[in-house]
Amino acid sequence: MTDVTDATFNADVLERSNTVPVVVDLWAPWCGPCKTLGPIIERVVANTNGRVELAKVNVDENPQTAQAFQVQGIPAVYALKDGQVVDGFVGAQGEPEVQAFIDRLLPTEEENAVEALLAAGDEQSLLQVLQLEPDNAAAVVGLAAILVERSEHESALELLQRIPETPESRHVAALARRGGAAPEQADITDKLDALLTRVKGDEAVRQEFVDLLELLGPESELTAEYRRRLSSALY
């Protein structure tokens, strides 16, 4: 259980909910039903052994958080996953109702199976994930990377089309289009300089330029420099 404030809400609730479901209990010291509900929620969440976490928010001391939830009355309880409210209720509830609320947040058998297969990370496991969830981004990127390693570049690019672009998918796609190997940094800059004069009006050249920036990586100072130079060349 964590006592959350307006200042810590983003980190303790929104960001944390990307890893584990977070239940937010909005309460106040003067609220009688809150005193009844609070221990029930704490007990039920504790029994999940970390698979669900509880964040307690005193609405009197943290008005910004209360306003964000548009609280009309307390106790008010909300469940968040991936930064989004997925369930909630207002008013005191008995332990069976609270237990059912928490149970809905727990991973299903299929979700547990997918997590275990992703952790294994081998080709057969990733293929099994895609049988269960054809657009699972982690499995798509992982399997595409395996295909690139064995030079099945077109198959990797076709697979990556299943999902929206992410930094990870762009990197694997760039490797696939470059034949699976990243040039040395000095070679990359030489190639970028040579391509820069031809990027305008040539989509293939522009794609090659962008792929080389992907292989340099966002942490490289050269990436920012060459992105600026690309913008100048195009516009």
Residues noted as catalytic: 31, 34
The contacts of residue 102 (CB under 8 Å, 6+ apart) are 23, 44, 45, 48, 52
What tokens were used for 19? Answer: 């890893």
Number of other CB atoms surrounding residue 209 within 10 Å? 22
Tokens of 177: 């289009």
Strands, DSSP E only, in 17-155?
22-27, 53-58, 76-81, 84-90
The residues, ordered by sequence, that sit 6+ positions from 31 with a Cβ below 8 Å of its Cβ are 74, 75
CA distance 18 to 186: 38
